[in-house]
Amino acid sequence: MTCDFLPLAAPGVRTLHPYQPGKPESELRREYGLSDIIKLASNENPLGPSPKALVAVREALAGVARYPDGNGFELKTALSARLNTPIGALTLGNGSNDVLELAARAFLTPEHEAVFSEHAFAVYPIVTQAIGATARVAQANPPDHPMPYGHDPAALLNLINDRTRIVFIANPNNPTGTWLKTAELQTLLEAVPERVMVVVDEAYGEYVEATADCPNALHWLDRFPNLIITRTFSKAYGLAGLRVGYAVSHPQVADLLNRVRQPFNVNSLALVAATAALGDLEHLERSRTLNRAGMQQLQDACRQWGLSWLPSVGNFLCVDVGRSGREMFLELLKRGVIVRPVDNYGLPHFLRISIGSQAENARLIEVLGTVLKD
Mean pLDDT score across all residues of the chain: 95
Q: Per-residue confidence at 3, pLDDT binned at 50, 70, 90? A: confident
User: Residue 245 phi/psi, 5° resolution?
Assistant: -145, -175
Report phi then psi at 95, rounded to 5.
85, 165
Q: What is the pLDDT of residue 33?
A: 79
For residue 278, the Cα-to-chain-centroid distance in whole angstroms is 18
Phi first, then psi: give them for residue 213, nearest 5 degrees: 60, 40
For the domain with range 51-279, which CATH number is right: 1.10.1740.10, 3.40.640.10, 3.40.109.10, 3.20.20.80?
Answer: 3.40.640.10
pLDDT at position 201: 98
pLDDT computed for residue 15 by the predictor: 81
∠ Cα 248 113 186 (to 5°): 45
Q: Which pLDDT does position 160 carry in this prediction?
A: 98
Cα–Cα nearest to 116, from 81, 93, 140:
140
- The backbone torsions φ and ψ at residue 258, rounded to the nearest 5 degrees and listed phi first, read -70, -20
In this predicted structure, what is the pLDDT of residue 99?
Answer: 97
Q: What is the pTM of this model?
A: 0.94
Q: How far apart are CA 49 and CA 280, in angstroms?
A: 10
Domain boundaries, the chain: 22-48+282-373, 51-279
Residue 279, CB-side half-sphere exposure with 13 Å CA sphere:
17
159 touches 107 (CB < 8 A): no
C-alpha closest to that of 205 among 222, 185, 223: 185
Q: Where does 22-48+282-373 sit in CATH, by number?
A: 3.90.1150.10
CA distance 102 to 261: 6
Instruction: Report pLDDT for 4.
Output: 85
Can you give the three-state secondary structure of 166-177, one letter per residue?
Answer: EEEEECCCCCCC
pLDDT tier for residue 132 given thresholds of 50, 70 and 90: very high
Residue pair 141/150 in contact by the 8 Å Cβ criterion: yes
DSSP label at residue 36: S
> Does residue 355 contact residue 295 with C-beta atoms inside 8 Å?
yes
Residue-wise pLDDT for 286-344, tens only, equals 999 999 999 999 999 999 999 999 999 999 999 999 999 999 999 999 999 999 999 99
Contacts of 263 (CB under 8 A, 6+ apart): 70
340-341, strands of its sheet edge to edge: 308-309, 316-320, 350-354, 340-341
pLDDT at 1: 60
pLDDT of 64 reads: 96
Confidence of residue 2 (pLDDT cuts 50, 70, 90): confident
Q: What's the mean pLDDT in 241-261?
A: 97
Q: Pick the range with the lowest mean pLDDT from 25-34, 102-111, 166-175.
A: 25-34
